[in-house]
């Protein structure tokens, strides 16, 4: 498999944080976006008589457990992850499967039979990226339209190759490494959050950026609340019982939050709630992926609940700072578990959340960079080995651990003066090398680790 090159494309908040549905950003959100884009392009070329999709590599090996087939069907039928009603998904897909036809892009009826028009190529990896798709549209007259798409992590997709398209946007405070980020902050006399805010002005004004940040925070909070109300078993056949509702009730019964152990219980609850909601196919914020969607919301809720004098401005600082760290991982490595293992998902989310919390609590830029480094250093080598290919075991509990580690990392960094031996750049490069060295069976293929040592029944 070809080694992944660093991404130098200009990316912003909207590229890192999106609102979609579960259970996976790379295996659900990304394929849905790719299928939707393909349907629009196919219709632009004429009226197809048939369309098909082939899934390769990790998408094929764990696609059933990650609802990749459902995502492709929805995308072809004109739905997008930001707007599709999670409660209507099962009905939409069931109708298409029973009628064996779909409305391509919501406009043209074409036959659609799984196994003939949607094929899992579990024996093949495309050279550009582990998450590859091939779409074909046939027309009554003329050549078929064929295109390849890749889901490169966090719901992002690219056509033709695995590198994101370059942008002509010029950022006023551009940075591509942790060292550059600190240098720019020192030169300008600003915080890391200030740098991200200034750069976002290339896309929108400050008022719109604040509204976007507030919408992310509201969506994260709403997901926690929904997750704490959910009950029953998660879909997929593992018979995993949702635990957040019962845990929430137990914590409420324990009364005031004076016992220090309650802090850990509440943070774990909030992460658990988000990832159970994600596993159930609910609406979540990709932060920076769906499989790791519980870490940042849980740590943000910790700031707002347990820290002294939390403010909306502090929450925005938290999210802006997490974004700066997320940009570095996307540019210098990857946030795709199919490339990096779970260190690229829960590990990255932990690193981002640690930096965000430190920033919200008033840490220096050097302490923030140190917090991000600590958050990743102790997630290095974390494999992605989901049992049954489902984003449930060990994924849900890993988010609780990632959130607790992030809080610990933030305070450890703030007890120091920001100086440390291992830089954030060094730990990101180590993560990248570790991901490349990691055998594919430990990278979201369900061919190693817990996925083969625990029977999925």
Give the residue among 185, 258, 274, 184 at the shortest CA–CA distance from 224.
274
Q: Are strands 156-159 and 18-21 parallel, antiparallel or unpaired?
A: unpaired
Q: ω before 394 within 30° of 0 (cis)?
A: yes
Q: Does residue 347 lie within any of the structural domains?
A: yes
Task: Count CB neighbours of 86 within 10 A.
Answer: 17
Q: Does residue 457 lie within any of the structural domains?
A: no
CA separation for the pair 391, 22 (Å, rounded): 9
Last residue of a domain, one of 159, 192, 216: 159
Give the residue among 152, 138, 155 at the shortest CA–CA distance from 53.
138
**Based on the domain organization, do 405 and 268 belong to the same domain?**
yes
**Based on the domain organization, do 184 and 136 belong to the same domain?**
no
**Based on the domain organization, do 201 and 59 belong to the same domain?**
no
Q: Does residue 164 lie within any of the structural domains?
A: no
The Cβ-side half-sphere exposure at 72, using a 13 Å CA radius, reads 30
**Based on the domain organization, do 223 and 338 belong to the same domain?**
yes
Q: Does residue 94 lie within any of the structural domains?
A: yes
State the burial class of residue 417 (Cβ atoms within 10 Å of its Cβ: 0-12, 13-18, 19+).
Answer: exposed
Q: Does residue 239 lie within any of the structural domains?
A: yes
**Based on the domain organization, do 309 and 367 belong to the same domain?**
yes
Q: Does residue 15 lie within any of the structural domains?
A: no
**Based on the domain organization, do 109 and 150 belong to the same domain?**
yes
**Based on the domain organization, do 74 and 185 belong to the same domain?**
no
**Based on the domain organization, do 63 and 130 belong to the same domain?**
yes
Q: Does residue 241 lie within any of the structural domains?
A: yes
**Token representation of residue 46:** 């004429």
For residue 53, give the CATH number of its domain: 3.30.1330.90
**Based on the domain organization, do 308 and 422 belong to the same domain?**
yes
Buried b (16+ CB within 10 A) or exposed e, 357-392: bbbbbebbbbbbbbbbbbbbbbbebbbbbbbbbbbb
User: How many domains does one find in the chain?
Assistant: 2
**Based on the domain organization, do 186 and 153 belong to the same domain?**
no
Give the residue among 406, 457, 385, 445 at the shortest CA–CA distance from 1.
445
**Based on the domain organization, do 152 and 184 belong to the same domain?**
no
Q: Which domain holds residue 101?
A: 25-159
CA separation for the pair 457, 271 (Å, rounded): 25
- pLDDT tens by residue, the chain, 457 residues: 334 444 456 889 999 999 999 999 999 999 999 999 999 999 999 999 999 999 999 999 999 889 999 999 999 999 999 999 999 999 999 999 999 999 999 999 999 999 999 999 999 999 999 999 999 999 998 899 999 999 998 999 999 876 665 566 789 999 999 999 999 999 999 999 999 999 999 999 999 999 999 999 999 999 999 999 999 999 999 999 999 999 999 999 987 766 788 999 999 999 999 999 999 999 999 999 999 999 999 999 999 999 999 999 999 999 999 999 999 999 999 999 999 999 999 999 999 999 999 999 999 999 999 999 999 999 999 999 999 999 999 999 999 999 999 999 999 999 999 999 999 999 999 999 999 999 999 999 999 999 999 975 5
CA separation for the pair 279, 235 (Å, rounded): 8
Q: Does residue 448 lie within any of the structural domains?
A: no
**Based on the domain organization, do 202 and 309 belong to the same domain?**
yes
């Amino acid at each position: 498999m070809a080694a992944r090159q660093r991404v130098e494309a200009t990316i912003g908040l909207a590229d890192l944080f999106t609102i979609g549905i579960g259970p996976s950003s790379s295996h659900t959100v990304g394929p849905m976006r790719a299928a939707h884009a393909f349907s629009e392009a196919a219709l632009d070329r004429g009226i197809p008589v048939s369309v098909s999709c082939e899934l390769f590599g990790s998408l094929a090996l764990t696609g059933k457990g990650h609802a990749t087939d459902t995502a492709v069907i929805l995308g072809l039928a004109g739905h997008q992850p930001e707007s599709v009603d999670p409660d209507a998904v099962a009905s939409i897909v069931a109708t298409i499967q029973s009628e064996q036809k779909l409305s391509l892009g919501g406009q043209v009826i074409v036959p659609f039979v799984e196994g003939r028009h949607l094929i899992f190529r579990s024996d093949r990896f495309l050279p550009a990226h582990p998450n590859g798709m091939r779409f074909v549209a046939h027309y009554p007259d003329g050549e078929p339209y064929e295109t390849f798409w890749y889901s490169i992590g966090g719901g992002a997709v690219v056509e033709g190759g695995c590198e994101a398209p370059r942008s002509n946007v010029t950022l006023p405070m551009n940075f591509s490494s942790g060292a550059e980020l600190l240098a720019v902050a020192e030169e300008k006399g600003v915080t890391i959050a200030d740098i991200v805010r200034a750069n976002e002005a290339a896309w929108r004004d400050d008022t719109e950026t604040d509204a976007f940040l507030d919408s992310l925070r509201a969506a994260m909070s709403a997901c926690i609340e929904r997750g704490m109300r959910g009950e029953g078993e998660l879909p997929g056949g593992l018979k995993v019982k949702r635990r957040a509702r019962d845990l929430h009730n137990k914590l409420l019964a324990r009364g005031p939050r004076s016992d220090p152990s309650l802090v850990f219980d509440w943070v774990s609850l909030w992460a658990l709630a988000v990832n159970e909601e994600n596993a159930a196919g609910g609406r979540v914020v990709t932060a920076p992926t769906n499989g790791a969607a519980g870490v940042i919301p849980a740590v943000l809720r910790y700031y707002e609940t347990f820290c002294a004098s939390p403010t909306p401005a502090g929450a925005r600082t938290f999210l802006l700072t997490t974004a700066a760290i997320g940009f570095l991982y996307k540019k210098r490595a990857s946030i795709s578990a199919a490339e990096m293992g779970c260190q690229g998902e829960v590990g990255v989310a932990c690193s981002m959340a640690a930096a965000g919390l430190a920033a919200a609590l008033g840490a220096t830029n050097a302490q923030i960079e140190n917090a991000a480094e600590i958050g990743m250093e102790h997630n290095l080598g974390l494999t992605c080995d989901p049992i049954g290919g489902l984003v449930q075991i060990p994924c849900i509990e890993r988010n609780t651990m990632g959130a607790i580690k992030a809080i610990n990392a933030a305070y450890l960094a703030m007890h120091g003066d920001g100086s440390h031996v291992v830089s954030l750049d060094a730990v990101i490069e180590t993560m990248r090398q570790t991901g490349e060295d990691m055998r594919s069976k430990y990278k979201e293929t369900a061919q190693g680790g817990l996925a083969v040592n625990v029977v999925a029944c």
